[in-house]
Structure 1
Amino acid sequence: MRKIFLVLTLTLTCIAFSTARIKDIANFRGVRDNQLFGIGIVVGLNGTGDSGKISSTVLSNIAKTLGVTMNPEDIKTRNSAMVMVIADIPAFFKEGMRLDVVVASIGDAKSLEGGILLQTPLFGADGNVYAVAQGSVSVGGAEVKVSANLQSKYKVVGFIPSGAIVEREIPFEFAQSNSVTLHLKRPDFTTAARVAQAINTTFERRIAKAIDASTIKIDVPSAFEDDVISFLALVEEIEVSVDMPARVVVNEKTGTVVFGGNIKILDFTLSYGVFNVTIKNGKLPEQETEATVGALVSALKSLGATPQDIIAILESMHKAGVLLAELVVM
C-alpha cells in the first residue's frame, strides 16, 4: 500500500476570500427584473398546430377586432397554436426598448417551427400591460439523432430575440429618505460586515451599517443629495473581500470536483484501495503547514488517483466528520 505524504509544492490553493466589486456581489433594493406573461397565438404552422377549437376561437376574435366577422366553426386548421408568452423586463427599461421572448405551446401542437406570433400583450403581476410581443418563432437546436455537443430540437418551445417592445416603464424606488439599501446576492454575515466597512472607509465617515446577513443600509451623504446616481456609481466600484463558505461540490457523472473557501481537515487515517491517507495534528506529515482539501486532492492526483477515487475519499471523509465543509453531490 502507498502512503501519502502531502507535499507543500503540490498544494492546490484554496483562498478563504477574493476581492470583488460591490456591483458584482450585491444589488440595490428595488432594482430588479420583473416577470411578464401573456397568452397568444402562433400562426403559419405547416399542419403542426393545435387540433382543438380554442385557437380557432381566438383567431375569430382577432378577426372581429379588425372588422372581419368569422365563424370559429369555419376556421378548421392545424396551422395555428395557442402559446404562453413570457419575458423578463430588467430595471429601468424605457418605452421602445426591446426584450427577448420565450413562447411555449399550451395545447397539443407538435411543433412551433416556422410560426409567427401575433401581437400579444404581456402583463405584469399587477395586471398592467408593460410590453407587446410579436415576431417569427425560432425553435433552435439541430436535427441530430445523437450528439455530445448539440441539443435536438424541442419544437414546442421557441424564442423570439428582441421580440417584445416595452410600452410602459415599471416604476422603481431605490432611494428613500436619503438612504439606499444593498442586498447581497449570497447572504453572508462576514461579507455584509466587510461591505459596510469598505463603504465607510472609502467615504471616511460612518454611513453604512450591516442590518443582517444580506442587508446593508447606506445613508446618502449631503454632498450627493442632488446626485444620488453618482453616489451609487461610486459605491458599486468599491472592492470588497468576499468571504466564501467552505464547500466541496462533486459531480459523480463527470468526475468534477470544485472546492472553495479555506477548507481544513481534521486528523484522520483512511484506507482506500492502494491508498493510505493519514493526517496528524492538523498538519501535513513532516510539514508545518495546515492540511487542506487542496493539498489532499493534489497529492492524490499526483499518485494516479482517478476523479472517482477522489470523490469516494471526499465522501468518506465527510461522513466521518473530518471534512470541515459542506459536501454537495450532483
Structure 2
Amino acid sequence: MKKKIIIALLIVAVFSLSAVVRIKDIAKFRGARDNQLFGIGIVVGLNGTGDGGTLNSPLLANMFKNFGIPISEEDIKSNNTALVMVVADIPPFYKEGMRLDVIVASLGSAKSLENGVLLQTPLYGADGNIYAVAQGPVSVGGAEVKSSVNLQSRFKVTGYIPNGALIEKEIPANIVSDNSVTILLQNPDITTSARVATAINEKFSVKLAKAVDPASVRVQIPDAFSDDIITFLSIIEELEVIPDQAAKVVINERTGTVIFGGDIKISDFTLSYGNFVVSIKNGEIDGQEATISNLISALKALGATPQDIIGIIEELHKAGAIYAEIKVM
C-alpha cells in the first residue's frame, strides 16, 4: 500500500536571513593576487625508495661539479635519490626573507619520498625569473591505518615542506590605478556587488563606489586618504554586507548527501515514487510551508532512504517544481 504525504503551501511573505560578513571575507582588491612558482629538484636520503636509474644523474652530476667533485653520470645510479617537481604559491606583498610552504611530487619511478630531504631548488615564476629557493625535509603526511575511514592513508610520492621556501625576490603588486581601487568579488553576483557599493558610500557619506559589473566595484580614493591608502582600504575591508546567494541544492549521489541553503520553495505537484505518493497542495505540513527542508523531514519521518529523497528531489527539479539550481556530484 502506498504511503501518501499531503504537503500544502502556505502563502506568506518570507524574508531569508543571510549571514552578515565583512567585505574582506568575500572579496579582494584587484592587483593583490597570488602567483605560482615551480622548479625541478632532487630529494636525497631515501631508504632505497628513490628512482634507482639514470633519470636524475645529469642533475646530480652537475651538483657534484659545482661543489668541485668530478663524477660522471654513468657512475650515479642511486636508489636513495628522486627527481621531483617543486611548486609553491607566493601571496601578494610578500617580501624578501619571508617563507612559503612547498609541495614536492615525484617525476620518476620513486616509490616513496618519506624521510627524504629536498636539496636547494630555485623556484621560477611564469616570467622565467627566480623568486624563491626551496630546501628542507619532506613530510608525506597521512597515517598508516586501515581501521578508520576518517584518516587518509599515506600517498608517499608527494610531500610537503612547511616554510620550505625562502623568498629571494618580491613580486611587485599594484592595487591603485587612476586614484582608485577595484574590489573583486570571489563569487560574482549583481545584488552583492550593488550592496558592497552601497555600504561603502553610506560609510563615507559620499559616492565613492560604483558597481561596475557583478564581479567588480570601483572605489575612488578620497583626498583625505591620499597619503594613507592602507588605512582607507582597511576601513573598506571591515565594512559588513549581506551577500546575496541564488537558491541551490547540492546532491552527492555517492554518499547520499543533500546540501541546501535557505528556505527553498516548492510549487504544487503530485509525484508517485516507489512506495510514496508525494503531493503538495494549498495547505500545510505540520503547520509549515512547503520547502525542501520540510519535504525532507516529512520523507525521513516516513522511512524514506537518502536515495529515495535524492530521487524525489531530482524528479521534482526535472518537472520544474523546485525553485533552485540543482547540482549533482
Contact 2:117 2:136 in 1 (8 A): yes
Contact 2:7 2:279 in 1 (8 A): no
Matched, 1:124 2:111: no
Cα gap change, 1:287 to 1:109, in 2 (>3 Å): closer
Matched, 1:73 2:70: no
Deviates more, 1:145-154 or 1:194-203: 145-154
Contact 1:16 1:260 in 2 (8 A): no
Deviates more, 1:138-147 or 1:161-170: 138-147
Contact 1:49 1:79 in 2 (8 A): yes
Distance 1:82 1:302 in 2: 57
Distance 2:320 2:122 in 1: 55
Partner SS for 1:131:
strand
Tell me what 1:310 maps to: 309
Contact 1:187 1:214 in 2 (8 A): yes
Cα gap change, 1:286 to 1:100, in 2 (>3 Å): closer
Partner SS for 2:213:
coil
Distance 1:147 1:288 in 2: 42
Cα gap change, 1:14 to 1:136, in 2 (>3 Å): farther
Tell me what 1:38 maps to: 39
Taking the TM superposition and a 5 Å limit, the aligned residue runs for 1:57-206 are 57-145=58-146, 147-206=148-207
**How far does residue 76 in structure 1 lie from its aligned partner after superposition?**
2.2
Distance 2:146 2:232 in 1: 55
Matched, 1:323 2:318: no
Tell me what 1:291 maps to: 290
Taking the TM superposition and a 5 Å limit, the aligned residue runs for 1:48-59 are 48-59=49-60
Partner SS for 1:235:
helix
Contact 2:51 2:81 in 1 (8 A): yes
Contact 1:15 1:260 in 2 (8 A): no
Cα gap change, 1:174 to 1:241, in 2 (>3 Å): same
Tell me what 1:216 maps to: 217
Contact 1:14 1:259 in 2 (8 A): no
Deviations 1:182-201 (A, max 9, x none): 11000111111111111111
Q: Alignment length, in residue pairs?
A: 325
Distance 1:36 1:250 in 2: 35
Distance 1:109 1:286 in 2: 61
**How far does residue 8 in structure 1 lie from its aligned partner after superposition?**
9.5
Contact 1:245 1:260 in 2 (8 A): no
Deviations 1:109-165 (A, max 9, x none): 111111110000001111111111001111112223454122222111111111111
**How far does residue 108 in structure 1 lie from its aligned partner after superposition?**
1.0
Distance 1:255 1:55 in 2: 46
Tell me what 1:300 maps to: 299
**How far does residue 14 in structure 1 lie from its aligned partner after superposition?**
9.2
User: What code does the residue aligned with 1:323 have?
Assistant: I
Partner SS for 1:277:
strand
**How far does residue 297 in structure 1 lie from its aligned partner after superposition?**
1.9
Q: Identity rate of aligned residues, in percent?
A: 61
5+ residue gaps in structure 2?
none
Deviates more, 1:264-273 or 1:88-97: 264-273
Contact 1:40 1:85 in 2 (8 A): yes
Contact 2:52 2:81 in 1 (8 A): no
Taking the TM superposition and a 5 Å limit, the aligned residue runs for 1:3-14 are 3-6=4-7
Cα gap change, 1:255 to 1:117, in 2 (>3 Å): same
Partner SS for 1:172:
coil
Tell me what 1:24 maps to: 25
Partner SS for 2:56:
helix
Contact 2:9 2:290 in 1 (8 A): no
Instruction: Report the TM-score when normalising by structure 1.
Output: 0.92
User: What code does the residue aligned with 1:316 have?
Assistant: E
User: What code does the residue aligned with 1:59 have?
Assistant: L
User: What code does the residue aligned with 1:111 have?
Assistant: S
**How far does residue 16 in structure 1 lie from its aligned partner after superposition?**
6.3
User: What code does the residue aligned with 1:327 have?
Assistant: I
